[in-house]
């Protein structure tokens, strides 16, 4: 017998009471509220950043950048409770039954580890490690494809930002070696 999760009838209410406003799904609604609360808290923290001098500003002041990202995340979050209207209830329900694959968790852990080491490694070495280790984790074994990608892509990004855009990255261990 196939192990399936029975569908909840529409008449049954979640949370022991009423549905959230506008017929949104409780899970999506709670997730959106949590994300918005975290974004609000982080936005408050960014208001306490010191203002950078005009010389340090490159198009927009540095203290605005995290605020713009948080506003963007918040705007996208507003669509989460209405996802089932875009995809349909059956499609959205089927997607939620699929469990997270272990490779996704391993990828997230690897990225967290590398980002944690970024202040020590520097930006270029961090990009190089990500471009080398993630494809290896995902099963890419062709060294003739992997090595050029792991060297050329971070190099091109670094050249674009440093030479064309005038944005300089943290050197990390490279500053101590050279």
Nearest CA-CA partner of 82 in 149, 22, 7, 42: 22
pLDDT digits (tens, 9 = 90+) for 133-163: 999 999 988 999 999 999 999 999 888 888 8
- Dmax (CA) for the chain in angstroms is 69
Q: Are residues 107 and 141 in the same domain?
A: yes
CB under 8 A, 24+ apart: contacts of 142-149: none
Q: Are residues 82 and 108 in the same domain?
A: no
Structural domain including 72 reads 26-97
**Residue 35 vs residues 44, 121, 127, 163: alpha-carbon distances, Å:** 14, 30, 27, 37
Average pLDDT over residues 56-66: 70
pLDDT band for 13, please (50, 70, 90 cuts). Answer: very low
Q: Which is higher by pLDDT, 4 or 12?
A: 4
pTM for the model? 0.55
Q: Is residue 57 part of a domain?
A: yes
* Chosen domain end from 39, 62, 97: 97
Q: Are residues 37 and 69 in the same domain?
A: yes
Q: Is residue 40 part of a domain?
A: yes
Checking if the pLDDT of 71 tops 60, the result is yes
Domain count of the chain? 2
What's residue 159's pLDDT? Answer: 86
For residues 131 and 4, give the distance between their C-alpha atoms in angstroms, rounded to a whole number: 39
Q: Is residue 5 part of a domain?
A: no
What's residue 29's pLDDT? Answer: 87
Q: Is residue 111 part of a domain?
A: yes
For residues 12 and 19, give the distance between their C-alpha atoms in angstroms, rounded to a whole number: 10
Q: Is residue 7 part of a domain?
A: no
Checking if the pLDDT of 107 tops 80, the result is yes
* Chosen domain end from 79, 97, 115: 97
Which residues 6+ apart lie within 8 Å of 18 measured at CB? none
Q: Is residue 62 part of a domain?
A: yes
Q: Is residue 76 part of a domain?
A: yes
Q: Are residues 93 and 106 in the same domain?
A: no
Q: Are residues 113 and 75 in the same domain?
A: no
* Chosen domain end from 52, 80, 97: 97
Which residues 6+ apart lie within 8 Å of 129 measured at CB? 114, 121
Q: Are residues 60 and 122 in the same domain?
A: no
Other Cβ atoms within 10 Å of 24 Cβ, number = 17
Q: Is residue 20 part of a domain?
A: no
Q: Are residues 80 and 118 in the same domain?
A: no
Average pLDDT over residues 7-25: 54
């Amino acid at each position: 017998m196939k192990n399936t999760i029975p569908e909840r009838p529409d008449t049954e209410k979640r949370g022991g009471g009423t549905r959230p406003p506008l017929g949104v799904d409780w899970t999506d609604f709670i997730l959106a509220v949590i994300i918005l609360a975290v974004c609000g808290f982080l936005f408050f923290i960014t208001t306490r950043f010191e203002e950078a001098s005009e010389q340090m500003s490159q198009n927009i002041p540095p203290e605005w950048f995290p605020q713009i990202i948080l506003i963007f995340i918040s705007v996208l979050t507003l669509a989460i409770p209405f996802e089932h209207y875009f995809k349909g209830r059956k499609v959205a329900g089927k997607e939620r039954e699929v469990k997270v694959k272990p490779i996704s968790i391993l990828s997230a852990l690897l990225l967290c580890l590398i980002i944690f080491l970024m202040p020590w490694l520097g930006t270029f070495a961090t990009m190089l490690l990500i471009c080398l280790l993630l494809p290896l984790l995902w099963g890419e074994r062709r060294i003739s494809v992997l090595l050029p990608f792991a060297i050329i892509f971070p190099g091109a990004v670094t050249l674009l930002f440093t030479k064309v855009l005038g944005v300089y990255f943290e050197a990390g261990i490279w500053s101590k070696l050279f």
